[in-house]
Amino acid sequence: MGRPPQAAGVPVFRFLPQEVAQMERALEANNNIALPRPECDDLAEAFTNTPERAGQLPITGKQVLNWFQNRRHSQKAKKILQMQQQQQHQDSGRGFTPSPLANAASPMQYMYAPPPEVEKEMDFEAKSSRDGAWYDVSLFLAHRIEASEHEVRVRFVGFGSEEDEWVDVKTSVRQRSMPCDVVECMVVLPGDLILCFQEGNEQALYYDATVLDIQRRRHDLRGCRCRFWVRYDHDQSETARDGFTNPQEQTALKKRWAEEFAAASASTSSPQQSACNVVAELVESLVAQRQRREVALRLREALRDVKANFSFARVKGLRRLLAFLMLAAASERGVELFRESQSYQELQVIPALFKHTLAPQKSPASAPPVFNSSEEAAEVSNPPTPAEIVLALRVLEGCCLVDNSSKAAAAHHMAVKELLDLLSATGIPERTACLDALLALLLDSPANQKEFEYYRGVSKICDSLKNRHVDVALRTKCAEFLLLLVGDILPKTEALQDQLKEWMGTECCVILWDVYSNLEPAFADPERKKRSLKSLAEKMLSLVDS
């Protein structure tokens, strides 16, 4: 992350000699007390408007104030040095010999200048008072204590002694930031503090920034393609940054103590081993907490769009929910986190689906209202579109397959009845999605199976299958639905067999009860099962048409 050397062509900000002379006169006139901030701003504006500064970056009041503070510190240091030299001269004149403790290091030196074996293992970075950017530290030269402030004099990597600065230990020195790998972008969340590269007109430096929003994208051979919206802390400017394609361009503030403890756990004694185990448990709990935060954040953002009044916003939220479910279903940890999130009312997906898309409240038809200037306009809500209904049904199917509690939540909203109504009043894409969602609802759910039987669901599916005016692809889908329903989901009872004989005929029941049952053990391969299921459905459809 280091500060680029001066020889690399990056200009370093310096006050002009006439500006330094004017500030020295102002400091002397103010009894060596730094000027207040408004006067510093006036001086900065006056310096910027001079002909010598034409075409350059404007000077800020903070830079002027930092010059006054550094000059006061340097004057105090000179006075202390002169007093020490006078005291040594007086002592030598009196014949005193300096005490050996006079050259000993003070406790503060050991505090801010660690022993050589520790210094080799730790790297630091410091915040420059000139521009507010962070640079790698090459050396800690000295330290001082003034009032309640502890300061150290640092030398930056790639710069000489003329660039040395006094910086506050508490606010302007920290352990060097660790670069993020391209696969670690998922651990960065909105609100996190990062060290971000900012390119200016004349120089490019590292500043602290806060993550405002993240647009997750699929990675490719170039690395992370995610986009991060950040706000720089030094000037409150906002910009969009690409992902961690180059670790030198964007650096997250990560600590190395977790890796150090994990590496040390293999070669430590038993008390240290127990301490490492405690730290490992703490790290695991922090990672789990971060994962829960990320899941909650994604669900809140998606549900906010799902509950919108306009269809295009709801479609956007449903797509985000569907992408999240596909990602969660890929791992056991993702499934566990989704199930845990559904125990919180504000994160539940099923109620939002039925309230805003699958079963929106129908308002009675009436004359259009007339609004006066003093009355508030009513909320405008678009009805769900076919594409929105299909997406909502896919999300419902995914929730039921991932989480069993979603089936119980859907039963409270009379999901089977609503889907059967959609099956008879919508187009082909919606009906196909309805059949898939019904299978997910009925699987291992006695409550939904009873509701399906109560509303004569099998009869409605059979009617669609026998209707020759319906599209052939939809009729084939209905036949596949019946095969899966009878073979895998509904219990095989004599009452159901009699009903199927009445609705479909004896030959179709032979396929449903005998042929499918005999071929069921050979359906271990999903692809083979899919092909066999389609052939049986086509055979069943031909028997119905004959």
300 and 249, same structural domain?
Answer: no
227 and 300, same structural domain?
Answer: no
Name the residue type at position 330: A
Residue 387 pLDDT: 92
For residue 458, is pLDDT > 70? yes
Could you say which of 233, 254, 275 is where a domain stops? 254
Could you say which of 104, 125, 158 is where a domain stops? 104
Number of structural domains, the chain?
3
Q: Which residues contact residue 542 at a Cβ distance below 8 angstroms, ignoring those fewer than 6 apart? A: none
In a domain, 228, yes or no: yes
262 and 396, same structural domain?
Answer: yes
Residue 378 pLDDT: 43
CA dihedral sign of residues 70, 76, 82, 85? negative
235 and 278, same structural domain?
Answer: no
The number of CA neighbours under 13 Å toward the Cβ of 236 is 0
284 and 217, same structural domain?
Answer: no
Lowest mean pLDDT among 156-170, 262-276, 376-390: 262-276
323 and 190, same structural domain?
Answer: no
What is d(CA 541, CA 229) in angstroms, rounded to the nearest whole number? 55
In a domain, 279, yes or no: yes
Lowest mean pLDDT among 49-58, 188-197, 199-208: 199-208
Bridge-based pairing of strands 204-215 and 149-156 is: unpaired
In a domain, 29, yes or no: yes
Residue 497 pLDDT: 66
* Domain membership of residue 404 as a residue range: 256-361+381-410
Please write the tens of the pLDDT for every residue from 297-325: 999 999 999 999 899 999 999 999 999 99
Which CATH number goes with the domain that contains 61? 1.10.10.60
For residue 267, is pLDDT > 70? no
Average pLDDT over residues 452-462: 87
77 and 19, same structural domain?
Answer: yes
Specify the pTM. Answer: 0.50
Residue 466 pLDDT: 84
| DSSP-derived secondary structure for 282-337 | HHHHHHHHHHHHHHHHHHHHHHHHHT-SSHHHHHHHHHHHHHHHHHHTTSHHHHHH
Q: Are 239 and 230 in contact (CB under 8 A)?
A: yes
247 and 193, same structural domain?
Answer: yes
268 and 323, same structural domain?
Answer: yes
Q: Where are the alpha helices (DSSP H) in 443-493?
A: 446-454, 457-466, 472-484
Residue bearing the bigger pLDDT, 409 or 274? 409
Residue 98 pLDDT: 43
In a domain, 366, yes or no: no
Beta bridge partners of 250: 196
Could you say which of 224, 254, 284 is where a domain stops? 254
249 and 336, same structural domain?
Answer: no
Angle between helices 404-412 and 446-454 (to 10 degrees): 40
401 and 300, same structural domain?
Answer: yes
In a domain, 18, yes or no: yes
214 and 97, same structural domain?
Answer: no
Terminal CA-to-CA distance of the chain, rounded, Å?
A: 77
Q: In what order do the strands lie in the sheet with 227-232?
A: 238-242, 227-232, 204-215, 193-199, 250-252
Which CATH number goes with the domain that contains 224? 2.30.30.140
In a domain, 119, yes or no: no
In a domain, 113, yes or no: no
Highest mean pLDDT among 5-14, 243-252, 389-398, 456-465: 389-398
In a domain, 141, yes or no: no
89-128 CB burial, b ≥16 within 10 A, e <16: eeeeeeeeeeeeeeeeeeeeeeeebeeeeeeeeeebbbbb
- Which helix H or strand E contains 52, and what residues bound it? none
For residue 396, is pLDDT > 90? yes
pLDDT confidence band for 251 (50 / 70 / 90): very low
